[in-house]
Amino acid sequence: MEKVENSALESIVEGISRGPGRPQSPAVEGILPERRKEGMKLLLIAIKKGCFGKKEDITMKGVADWAAGNGFFLTEDHTHLSAKTIELKLGELNRELYPREAEEKKLKKERKEDKKKK
C-alpha cells in the first residue's frame, strides 16, 4: 500500500514544472493613460484628507514632483509624465471637482491684491 501512495505522490510532483519559490508577478510601470483621471482623483482625495501631511502645507507642485519622481503616471507611449504636466492636470481636475474651493481661493487672492493697492 505504501508503494501505491509513493508512486501517486511522485507523479504529482513530476507534473509541476515551475522553479522553486514564488512565481514572479509582472512589473508595474505606472498608471495607464486611460486611467490617469481616476489616479489623479485619488491623489486629490489623499491631499484633501491630509495623507501627505497638513493640508495647508502640501502643494500641487509638491505632489506632482513626488508622482513624477516615482514614475506614477504614464503617457500614451509608456514614458513617464513630467512633473509640470501632472501639476497642470491636477490643477484642472481640482477646479473641475472642487469649483467652490477654487472660486473662494480666487476671491481671497483678489481681496488681498485690493488691500495692497489701497
Higher pLDDT, 50 or 15: 50
pTM, whole model, 2 decimals?
0.66
Identify whether the C-beta of residue 97 lies closer than 8 Å to the C-beta of residue 38.
Answer: no
**Which residues fall within 8 angstroms of residue 68, CB to CB, at 6 or more apart?**
80, 81, 82, 83, 86
Identify whether the C-beta of residue 41 lies closer than 8 Å to the C-beta of residue 93.
Answer: yes
In whole angstroms, give the CA distance from residue 59 to residue 91. Answer: 10
Coil vs helix vs strand at 64:
helix
For residue 118, pLDDT over 90 is answered with no
For residue 66, pLDDT over 80 is answered with yes
Higher pLDDT, 10 or 102: 102
Identify whether the C-beta of residue 36 lies closer than 8 Å to the C-beta of residue 42.
Answer: no
Reported confidence tier of residue 6, pLDDT bands at 50, 70, 90:
low
In whole angstroms, give the CA distance from residue 84 to residue 72. Answer: 13
Reported confidence tier of residue 4, pLDDT bands at 50, 70, 90:
low
Of 13-22, 24-33, 51-60, 85-94, give the lowest mean pLDDT range.
Answer: 13-22
